[in-house]
Amino acid sequence: MRIATSNSVWIGIIILVIVTFAPGIWFLMHYKSYKVLQIGSYSLSVSYQTNPLMFYAGVFLISFGIISILWAGYIYNNIKNNLIEYFSICPICKSPNVLAKISFSMTIDDVQTVACQNCGAKWKIKTSGATGNIKTVKLVKPSDDGRGQEYLSKETDPEFWASLAREKE
Ligand SMILES: [Zn+2]
């Protein structure tokens, strides 16, 4: 099995880093400012003026960014392990020449695509947006020679396809 990751996953992670780390670091660098005391023509910096709201906002944004990235890693690994577990070989022709494309958004349910490069069969796999666990599997294209036609467009359990993959030709 070969696994490809959708570009939208990388773009999403880059956006996440930009919108959490950049303002987070800015807040932490600026929540303290010097209070400047002016005496005649002399100016002395004497004390800090701190803005606790800016400090908490900075800590929150950076923590949120780190947790989100760790969580994204967990979802990605979970999707990958599930696809390897159920689709390491094509359930229809038993070929290991299977291409899986991973895509996720961490919000609503996601759809993974698995395509057999040998017989042409193709599946859409619905995974949970929060955990990456497989919910349902749907064959969207039977093999080029028509095998699997009877399961076309039916929402099934992943175990159904794993048991087909284990069957001898
Ligand atoms: Zn196949």
CA nearest neighbour of 125 among 90, 87, 163, 88: 87
Q: Which residue has the higher pLDDT, 153 or 35?
A: 153
At position 86, the amino acid (one-letter code) is Y
CA of 96 to the centre of ligand 1 (A): 8
Strands (E) located in the chain: 2-5, 32-39, 42-50, 98-102, 110-116, 122-127, 134-141, 155-156
Residue 111 three-state SS: strand
pLDDT interval class at 169 (50, 70, 90):
low
Q: What pLDDT, in 10s, does the model give residues 103-112?
A: 988 778 999 9
Percent of the chain with pLDDT over 90: 79
Predicted pLDDT at 45: 67
Mean pLDDT of the 33-42 span: 74
CA of 91 to the centre of ligand 1 (A): 7
Q: What pLDDT, in 10s, does the model give residues 56-85?
A: 999 999 999 999 999 999 999 999 999 999
Predicted pLDDT at 115: 98
Predicted pLDDT at 46: 66
- Residue 109 in tokens: 């349910």
Instruction: Report domain extents, the chain.
Output: 2-166
pLDDT interval class at 39 (50, 70, 90):
confident
**What's the whole-number average pLDDT of the chain?**
92
Mean pLDDT of the 12-39 span: 89
CA of 36 to the centre of ligand 1 (A): 74
CA of 53 to the centre of ligand 1 (A): 57
Helix (H) or strand (E) holding 7: helix 7-30
- Residue 126 in tokens: 């619905």
CA of 167 to the centre of ligand 1 (A): 14
Residue 50 three-state SS: strand
Q: Are 80 and 102 in contact (CB under 8 A)?
A: yes
